[in-house]
């Protein structure tokens, strides 16, 4: 399945018209406001960070706060109408920001699926060897049972073709960015 990510307003749309909701930075530690604002979206993708975080995201207090939020969001989603699926989309600047952290999160919170944006997991220092890093990301995450979709855009062009082929052969949805000029988180 091919989807479109409208970065300007955070929607991901399926060909059927179904919309995935995307939350870049939860505005509060209380997920009920997010769940109420979904307007019937069957899927919620959360980028694991908070709007008011200052300083390193690896600090224990930040991680504890995120874990409480992730647990509360999963509990709230399971008490909803049962149709809502939760997904995490890690990025290099988020609280869940790398392969080990992502795999640990998925083991700890099995209610969450995974949306992988390989290019968003790269830091500036990784760009020199980006192909090696991208291959490791795909090997570890795109084939993971929790992975439902892969975001295209942001990687080198030959890489994008290989990524799309890998995603489709693994039966994953492919999300195409509608605007790749916005800076990545």
Confidence of residue 101 (pLDDT cuts 50, 70, 90): very high
Is 184 a residue whose pLDDT tops 50?
no
Q: Which fold does the domain 2-177 belong to in CATH? A: TIM Barrel (3.20.20)
More confident residue, 103 or 117: 103
> For the chain, how big is the Rg over CA atoms in Å?
16
The pLDDT score that the predictor gives to residue 150 is 87
Handedness of CA 33, 70, 72, 150 (dihedral sign): positive
pLDDT digits 0-9 by tens, 8-64: 555 566 666 666 777 776 666 677 777 776 766 777 788 877 767 777 888 888 888
pLDDT digits 0-9 by tens, 61-90: 888 888 888 898 888 876 556 667 888 989
The pLDDT score that the predictor gives to residue 181 is 37
More confident residue, 162 or 157: 162
Contact 72, 30 (CB under 8 A): yes
Determine the Cα–Cα distance for residues 18 and 121; give it in Å rounded to an integer. 27
The pLDDT score that the predictor gives to residue 183 is 33
Determine the Cα–Cα distance for residues 116 and 106; give it in Å rounded to an integer. 13
Is 157 a residue whose pLDDT tops 80?
no
> What is the arithmetic mean of pLDDT over 83-112?
89
Domain ranges for the chain, please list them: 2-177
Q: What is the DSSP string of 50-85?
A: -TT--S-TTSHHHHHHHHHHHHHHHHHHHHTTS--E
- Closest Cα partner for 137 from 180, 95, 91? 91
The pLDDT score that the predictor gives to residue 100 is 92
């Amino acid at each position: 399945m091919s989807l479109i990510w409208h970065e300007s307003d955070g929607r991901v749309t399926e060909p059927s018209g179904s919309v995935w909701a995307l939350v870049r930075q939860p505005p509060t530690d209380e997920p009920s406001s997010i769940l109420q604002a979904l307007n019937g979206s069957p899927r919620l993708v959360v980028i694991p960070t908070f709007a008011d975080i200052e300083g390193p995201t690896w600090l224990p207090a930040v991680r504890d706060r995120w874990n409480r939020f992730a647990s509360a969001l999963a509990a709230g989603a399971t008490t909803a109408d049962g149709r809502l699926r939760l997904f995490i989309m890690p990025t290099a600047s988020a609280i869940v920001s790398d392969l080990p952290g992502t795999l640990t999160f998925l083991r700890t919170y099995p209610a969450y699926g995974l949306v992988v944006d390989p290019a968003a997991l790269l830091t500036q220092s990784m760009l020199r060897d980006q192909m090696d890093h991208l291959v490791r990301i795909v090997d570890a995450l795109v084939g993971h049972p929790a992975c439902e979709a892969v975001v295209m855009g942001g990687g080198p062009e030959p890489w994008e073709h290989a990524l799309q082929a890998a995603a489709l052969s693994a039966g994953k949805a492919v999300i195409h960015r509608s605007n790749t000029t916005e800076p990545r988180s």
